[in-house]
Amino acid sequence: MVTFADGPIQPISKPDFSVRWTATTTLVVNTWSNCTITFDNGLPSGTYALVGARFMSAGALFGRVVPRGGPVFRPGTVAVQDRNKDPRAFDRHGQMGVWLTFPNTVPPSVDIFSLSADTTEEGIFDLVKIA
């Protein structure tokens, strides 16, 4: 995995909150698989900035966010295979700046690159309400 940015990373200092999501897509081994996510709790009406994320499944190596109807880039990071392991701090809570924005009515989907044909995916989005 290689990480690119369109300029210097500008961390976000606004308070964020985390929402958990799940998906039940059968991942294709050794390729990116798109997953439609379901939030554990609905988001209140408004527009949100995604300022961090965690992706998890049994064989996941990488995860990225797929905006719907917005920019074509897909920001992402490394994934974890165990809910209790998240050693990175650089990709959560605004440390990498704003990844993308979306309205509550059009949440993004996610792509996961996995070493196995997992059927259960989950993750966390760190969000800041901007409007």
Residue 116 lies in a domain: yes
**Any idea which residue has 């309205």 for tokens?**
103
The domain containing residue 66 runs over which residues?
A: 17-129
Give the pLDDT confidence score for residue 96 in this predicted structure.
85
Report pLDDT digits (tens) over 10-54: 888 889 999 999 999 999 999 999 999 999 998 999 999 999 999
125 close to 22: Cβ distance less than 8 angstroms:
no
Residue 6 lies in a domain: no
What single string gives the DSSP state of each residue in 63-105?
A: EEEE-SSS-S---EEE-BSSTT-----TTSTTTT---EEEETT
130 close to 48: Cβ distance less than 8 angstroms:
yes
Domain count, the chain: 1
Residue 50 lies in a domain: yes
Q: What is the pTM of this model?
A: 0.89
Of 34, 19, 45, 36, give the one whose Cα is nearest residue 112: 34
Cα distance from N-terminal residue to C-terminal residue, the chain: 33
Residue 2 lies in a domain: no
22 close to 40: Cβ distance less than 8 angstroms:
yes
Residue 34 lies in a domain: yes
Residue 100 lies in a domain: yes
Query: Is the pLDDT score of 1 beyond 90?
Result: no
Query: Is the pLDDT score of 4 beyond 80?
Result: no
Residue 76 lies in a domain: yes
Residue 29 lies in a domain: yes
Query: Is the pLDDT score of 2 beyond 80?
Result: no
Of 32, 37, 36, give the one whose Cα is nearest residue 115: 32
